Chain A
Amino acid sequence: MARIDLEDVGHRYGSADDAWALRPLTMTWNDGGAYALLGPSGCGKTTLLNIISGLIAPTRGKVLFDGRDVTALPPEARNIAQVFQFPVVYDTMTVFDNLAFPLRNRGWSTAKLRQRVEEVADILELRADLGRRARALSADQKQKISLGRGLVRPDVAAVLFDEPLTVIDPHLKWLLRRKLKQIHQQLKLSLLYVTHDQTEALTFADQVVVMSQGEIVQIGTPEQLFETPAHRFVGHFIGSPGMNFLPCEWREGAATIAGVRVETSSRQTPPPGAALSIGVRPEYLELSSTPGPNAVPARVAAIRDQGIQTMVQLEVGTSLAWAKLRDGAAALPSAAAFARLPPARCAVYADERRVP
């Protein structure tokens, strides 16, 4: 259990002329929290993880564990555990020996470590496999072994995951995710989970850190990220499909699309000269065949029936937007329609940022 502080931590691979892989940032990871680091390839999340674990020494900045400066310390001295993209197990050893390995390296007696290993094996539901050769197990079981080697050390403060479900079968991913949540509740460790899969991030974490191009774009709960994305990138990235952004203008103190005044949740006035758009999620966009307040003229361009939901592609002015309807095809209007934006569910975005 540790509170992790990052002070002005930044990193670049290569010389001073190269771009920052991770732009200098300062943040705190609370003790016992379950965090997800979410972002596309190359956004810097793995770099950040490796700096926290100590596998990379940051080009600048300090890393503190419970106020202690650990920046110069190697991973083995930091009381962290790391689980990688693919299972890392010692093939020639049994599951038991795998789990016992870190403890043996610390000089624990066999009697003492046996108890600890069995404890951890119970938590991970690996007890029955302790005598088997690690090599013979399936990928998800091997990942559990990887995790187990971290949990087995009593002083482990944080467990870091680098896309651990990458090579797991889809139907087993869910089980493993649930197990991780259980462990979090049971052992009260800090968990940092790097992924590019928003479903994993949103279901796993209490707090999600969204990253793009080397910087943190937003930190918040899954609901916050979904409902009030602070940045266009977050709007796009979270949600399936992502948020719709309809270009608008600011006239007479309000946003307008195609001449229609649209009330939004934004209270402030956007800065002058910024490119403006209104963001609204497909889940909240409503369709009607009659005009009304906040209803913008739209043309139905395509319809995709996906069973429990229907995806409707709309042309609003020159832009395309998606609406996700639950009601079914019967409620669809004809080609010419109106798209209604619920005021509480949309906001104005100036350049990339949300206007509060």
Chain B
Amino acid sequence: MRRKYSWLVLALYLVFTLAPIYWMVHMSLRNNLAITSTFAWLPESLSFANYATIFTDPAWYDGYLNSIIYVVLNTILSVAVALPAAYAFSRYSFLGDKHLFFWLLTNRMTPPAVFLLPFFQLYTAIGLMDTHLAVALAHMVFNVPLAVWILEGFMSAVPREIDETAYIDGYSFPRFFVKLFLPLIKAGIGVTAFFCFMFSWVELLLARTLTSVDAKPIAATMTRTVSAAGMDWGTLAAAGVLTIVPGALVIYFVRHYIAKGFAMGRV
């Protein structure tokens, strides 16, 4: 069956995906001189010096934590705000709905750099500079439209008859939404949560601009690795390896939501 070929293609692709990541791990276990001078299939000696640099530097550790905080905050806010809106777009027709839907996405059609100065002024004015909340809110500009679009897609795949049947059976709207509807779009919520997490996690410019000390994210430290001695390849690679971990955990956690898909109820 075609499934077998697809699995083969997938397996080959996974090898392709792993290659640069293997190289990144490989680099993280060597020193800069070795990285830039000689080729070796395996690192000559497994040196965790780069990781030691990271773990002993409080700026790295704090940055990691700060990033996780505002990213999680952003994911929760974005999904929470997007759910009702996506439902409205999916189920109802209202004045300006089609235009609004498309306009939402236009907020993603420009590099975040464009928002730098206005955001800087805005958050300074309302006293939210250098807080996790500021970055979480700022990232909503590109994550909320994404969340609304993805969730709307999944919601529209659920037949409207299910809503109507629930009302006839006496469900109030909140109860219907939470107990009946949300479980049906698990896959959508799972994938939305992951993407919000991911896009917020890798966004460095806004995160760096809106923070200074208290909420300084990994962004600052990730871009700090060029010194007088040149690029600090090894440490950057080690940091790169470490940035994969939270996101990998997130997708591992939501994989059940994504894989469960559509469950029509049990009889």
A residues in contact (CB < 8 Å) with B: 41-42, 45-46, 85-87, 139, 163, 166-170, 194, 196
Contacts and interface: CB of A to CB of B under 8 A. Distances in A.
Given A139-B161, A167-B159, A167-B161, A41 B266 contact: yes
Interface in B117-162: 159, 161-162
Nearest to A166: B165
Contacts of B162: 86, 167
Q: 7 closest pairs, A vs B, by CB?
A: A167-B161, A139-B161, A41-B267, A46-B267, A167-B165, A86-B159, A85-B264
A354 B196 CA distance: 61
Interface string B148-190: 0000000000010110110010000000000000000000000
A172 to B, nearest CB: 11
Contact of B267 (A86, A163, A170): A163
Contact of A42 (B165, B168, B266): B266
A42 B265 CA distance: 11
Contacts of A166: 165
A212 to B, nearest CB: 14
Nearest to A196: B267
Interface in B203-237: none
Nearest to A169: B164
B163 to A, nearest CB: 10
Nearest to B164: A169
A170 B161 contact: no
Contacts of A41: 266-267
A169 B165 CA distance: 8
B156 to A, nearest CB: 12
Contacts of B164: 169
A19 to B, nearest CB: 15
Contacts of B161: 86, 139, 167-168
Contacts of B266: 41-42
Contacts of B264: 85-86
Interface in B22-60: none
Contacts of B165: 166-167
B49 to A, nearest CB: 49
A139 B168 CA distance: 16
27 contacts: A41-B266, A41-B267, A42-B266, A42-B267, A45-B267, A46-B267, A85-B264, A85-B265, A85-B267, A86-B159, A86-B161, A86-B162, A86-B264, A87-B159, A139-B159, A139-B161, A163-B267, A166-B165, A167-B159, A167-B161, A167-B162, A167-B165, A168-B161, A169-B164, A170-B168, A194-B267, A196-B267
Nearest to A87: B159
A71 B45 CA distance: 60
A86 B266 CA distance: 13
B127 to A, nearest CB: 52
A154 to B, nearest CB: 29
The winner among B159, B264, B266, B267 for most chain A CB atoms within 10 A is B267
Contacts of A46: 267
Nearest to A170: B168
A170 B168 CA distance: 9
A37 to B, nearest CB: 11
Contacts of A170: 168
Interface string B43-81: 000000000000000000000000000000000000000
B258 to A, nearest CB: 22
Nearest to B159: A86
B39 to A, nearest CB: 51
Contacts of B265: 85
Contacts of A87: 159
A170 B267 CA distance: 19
Nearest to B158: A86
A3 B168 CA distance: 39
Nearest to A86: B159
Contacts of B159: 86-87, 139, 167
A195 B164 CA distance: 20
A196 to B, nearest CB: 6
A45 B161 CA distance: 24
The winner among A42, A46, A139, A170 for most chain B CB atoms within 10 A is A139
B76 to A, nearest CB: 32
